[in-house]
Copies of this chain bind each other. A is one copy, B any other.
Amino acid sequence: MQLKPIGRIRSPFAHSPGTPIQPCFAGGHTGEAEIFPENAEGLRDLAGFDRIWLLFWCHRASDVKLSVVPYRDTVERGIFATRAPARPNPIGLSCVRLTGIENNILHLAEVDILDGSPLLDIKPYVPDYDVYPVGRTGWIGERGLDVVAADARFEQPS
């Protein structure tokens, strides 16, 4: 199970501190996904979608921790009950807005991804497939703090 990047993210965020923790908190921030030319054929028909999932490698994530204090809490939670990047397989998942495509460049809005992140996959966002009614959202629903930007806690020292 070996990954190879299909492209690279360009964003205003060189480091974690101040980076939005999710696209829903990244309103005005724009960025680009540069798709490597050998994968450009796969972008056909993508421009018809308002939003896309980006799967990317959290290349600046700190070492794996199975218990973390997430940004939105003050006590430890199991890593799989959080969206923190210090995961066994540090794959990030963000639903960003696709504002345009020029050749092999995707123009993006509501970007919460660090600059230079290797891009692994793009999937169209389809409400039939991705939107489900849920009642319980665990600790996030019960006591999620009103934090919208990251700090350095999950970033490897540079």
- Residues of A participating in the B interface, judged by any CB pair closer than 8 Å: 1-6, 22-24, 39, 41-53, 55, 57, 66-67, 76-83, 87-89, 91, 93, 95, 118, 120-132, 134-142
Contact = CB atoms under 8 A, between A and B. Distances in A.
The copy count of this chain in the complex is: 2
Main secondary structure of the interface of A (DSSP, over half): mixed
Contacts of A131: 130-131
Given A23-B129, A48-B141, 12 more contacts: A4-B89, A6-B89, A44-B76, A45-B139, A46-B78, A47-B138, A48-B137, A49-B137, A83-B123, A93-B93, A124-B137, A126-B140
A88 B121 contact: yes
Nearest to A5: B1
Given A42-B67, A81-B43, A93 B123 contact: yes
18 contacts: A23-B129, A39-B66, A41-B67, A42-B87, A44-B77, A50-B135, A50-B137, A51-B134, A53-B93, A55-B93, A80-B123, A82-B124, A91-B91, A91-B121, A95-B130, A126-B140, A127-B134, A127-B137
